[in-house]
């Protein structure tokens, strides 16, 4: 999948890391020990709260569910209306990552600004979890892995084990939460698979391949012309012939639903959504960050239910 350009502000992050590492102004340097990097990882100083920093509130919610109430979890990207691909990081973000006990990021060039920071700090790399590296199909280049059950459960297990290494007294509770959470993810995967079993041959069109793992688990075919998806991912206009082919799928009801990402709206995708509505093709909104007031599992279940209803399957 094409690599998205890295925001110019990322150029400043390396310099920030040098400043943080020097501990200028009499500040105490950040602990070098990384959660879970070795069996001998020391416990945090008495009275110090462990911190986990996640790039988006999706991964922040997953980490928080496993870490429990005694760990501070911060999500950098939380806006449910903004496009995370276009996020411009700040020096404060880099400082938060550098000082975190554990970092959870998406990877796969989705949050390149984080990788810029991590690649400049080997110790930080050691105490980071990349979700993309844990995807079930390693040949799959789609970066939207928060809908891949294997990747999510991989992150869940790593969060539990990394934190257990520095908080041995909490190891049992961490692993219990991880087991329970993974069971819920498996349950959602089973319910997703029931969509395709109930509606074999169902096809959808997508304004962006955000739901690819979701659709694969559901057994629902993505009929989007590849050239359309590639153009939208590259933030360019699709070729005229491709756009005509895509619009024809909607106009003739050649698909059962349209998967629409409201966080990456363009005139082309908005026009496609409006055409789908006019043609009576159900529109399924799928986002990249959590809506206010929802956690990961609630959001996943709501997205699954909306897809099921759109395709005429039991929700």
pLDDT digits (tens, 9 = 90+) for 167-184: 999 999 999 999 999 999
> 51 forms bridges with which residues in the sheet?
72
Q: Are the folds of 8-188 and 192-310 the same?
A: yes
How far is the C-alpha of 205 from the C-alpha of 92, rounded, in Å?
39
Residue 275 has pLDDT above 80, yes or no: yes
117 band by pLDDT with thresholds 50, 70 and 90:
very high
- Architecture of domain 192-310 in this structure: 3-Layer(aba) Sandwich (3.40)
What mean pLDDT is predicted for residues 108-127? Answer: 93
CATH fold of the domain at 8-188:
Rossmann fold (3.40.50)
> 54 forms bridges with which residues in the sheet?
75, 104
pLDDT for the residue 45 = 56
Q: Find out whether 101 and 129 touch, Cβ atoms under 8 Å.
A: no
pLDDT digits (tens, 9 = 90+) for 16-64: 333 333 333 332 333 333 333 333 344 555 567 999 999 999 999 999 9
Count Cβ atoms below 10 Å from residue 236 Cβ, excluding itself. 12
Q: Which residue has the tokens 């692993």?
A: 175
pLDDT for the residue 80 = 86
Look up the pTM and report it.
0.85
What mean pLDDT is predicted for residues 103-128? Answer: 94
pLDDT for the residue 83 = 84
Q: Where are the domains of the chain?
A: 8-188, 192-310
Pick the range with the lowest mean pLDDT from 79-93, 113-127, 296-310.
Answer: 79-93
How far is the C-alpha of 206 from the C-alpha of 224, rounded, in Å?
6
How far is the C-alpha of 44 from the C-alpha of 63, rounded, in Å?
18
How far is the C-alpha of 74 from the C-alpha of 55, rounded, in Å?
8
């Amino acid at each position: 999948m094409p690599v998205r350009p890295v925001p110019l502000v990322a150029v400043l992050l390396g310099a920030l890391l040098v400043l943080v590492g020097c501990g200028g102004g009499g500040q105490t340097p950040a602990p070098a020990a990384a959660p879970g990097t070795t069996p001998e990882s020391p416990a945090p100083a008495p009275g110090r709260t462990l911190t986990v920093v996640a790039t988006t509130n999706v991964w922040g919610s997953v980490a928080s569910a496993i870490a429990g109430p005694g760990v501070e979890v911060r999500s950098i990207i939380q806006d449910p209306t903004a496009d995370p691909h276009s996020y411009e990081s700040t020096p404060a973000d880099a400082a938060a990552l550098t000082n975190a006990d554990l970092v959870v990021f998406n990877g796969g060039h989705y949050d390149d600004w984080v990788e810029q920071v991590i690649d400049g700090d080997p110790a930080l790399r050691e105490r980071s979890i990349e979700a993309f590296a844990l995807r079930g199909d390693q040949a799959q280049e789609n970066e939207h892995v928060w809908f891949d059950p294997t990747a999510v459960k991989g992150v869940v297990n790593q969060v539990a084990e990394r934190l257990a290494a520095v908080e041995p007294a909490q190891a049992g509770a961490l692993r219990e939460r991880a087991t329970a959470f993974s069971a819920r993810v498996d349950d959602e995967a089973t319910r997703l698979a029931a969509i395709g079993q109930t509606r074999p041959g169902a096809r959808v069109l997508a304004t962006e391949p955000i739901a690819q793992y979701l659709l694969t688990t559901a057994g629902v075919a993505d009929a989007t012309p590849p050239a359309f998806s590639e153009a939208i991912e590259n933030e360019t206009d699709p070729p005229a012939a491709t756009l005509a082919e895509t619009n024809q799928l909607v106009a003739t009801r050649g698909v059962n639903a349209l998967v629409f990402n409201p966080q990456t709206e363009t005139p082309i995708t908005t026009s496609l959504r409006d055409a789908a509505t006019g043609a009576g093709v159900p529109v399924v909104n799928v986002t990249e960050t959590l809506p206010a007031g929802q956690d990961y599992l609630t959001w996943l279940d709501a997205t699954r239910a909306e897809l099921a209803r759109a395709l005429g399957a039991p929700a």
